[in-house]
Chain A
Amino acid sequence: DVKVTQSSRYLVKRTGEKVFLECVQDMDHENMFWYRQDPGLGLRLIYFSYDVKMKEKGDIPEGYSVSREKKERFSLILESASTNQTSMYLCASSWATSGASSYNEQFFGPGTRLTVL
């Protein structure tokens, strides 16, 4: 079974702190994703990585950065946490797509609920 693990289930941080959220997948997937989930808004893509050291901005990248130094690990960084970044953060991974008509299932981790005070 594919396993996507996230470093913390719950995290409480102070405004202005630098926050690291870690995600590890064990299926040798090329693609990794970070989403945030808010009530009434569904899941929104923050960043996407399709290879080591490669990244693309998603729909809501402001206030976030990412790092992918190893294929299995994808980190989300909040440089200076703010209260409006209080949310559930979900990491996902998938095989690489090949061609415009193909798509692969995304496998999600359990999420990290971040509270910024």
Chain B
Amino acid sequence: GENVEQHPSTLSVQEGDSAVIKCTYSDSASNYFPWYKQELGKGPQLIIDIRSNVGEKKDQRIAVTLNKTAKHFSLHITETQPEDSAVYFCAASRYYKLSFGAGTTVTVRA
């Protein structure tokens, strides 16, 4: 089955700096790569996703890049703010099934 590795497990950044989280996947047939944000006491919520026919996607301060050849994808958050503090999960999918990374706890220092 699909195996998704996510790094780093924790990330502390100064407010205003950028944050980058990286994931690799094993199944070359995976074609959909969502990123979820989980705030304390809440369920994960989709923040951005990318499909395998696209190399990069941006939505305001967040962007995702995908390298199909190397089987890795990354989340970039620019101009970090305190409300960006959360746990972020990457996932890879073929059909309905999502395989999640272990998660990255992001802390934005004021």
Contact = CB atoms under 8 A, between A and B. Distances in A.
B53 to A, nearest CB: 9
Interface stretch (A66-74, A79-87, A107-115): A107-115
B98 A4 contact: no
Interface residues of B, number: 27
A68 B36 CA distance: 26
Contact of A97 (B46, B51, B96, B103): B96
Interface in B74-106: 89, 93-98, 100-103
A117 to B, nearest CB: 23
B49 A105 contact: yes
Interface in A20-57: 31, 40-45, 48, 50
B95 A106 contact: no
Interface of B: 1, 4, 6, 9, 31-32, 34, 36, 41-46, 49, 51, 89, 93-98, 100-103
Interface of A: 4, 31, 40-45, 48, 50, 58-59, 90, 92, 94, 97, 100-101, 103, 105-106, 108-111
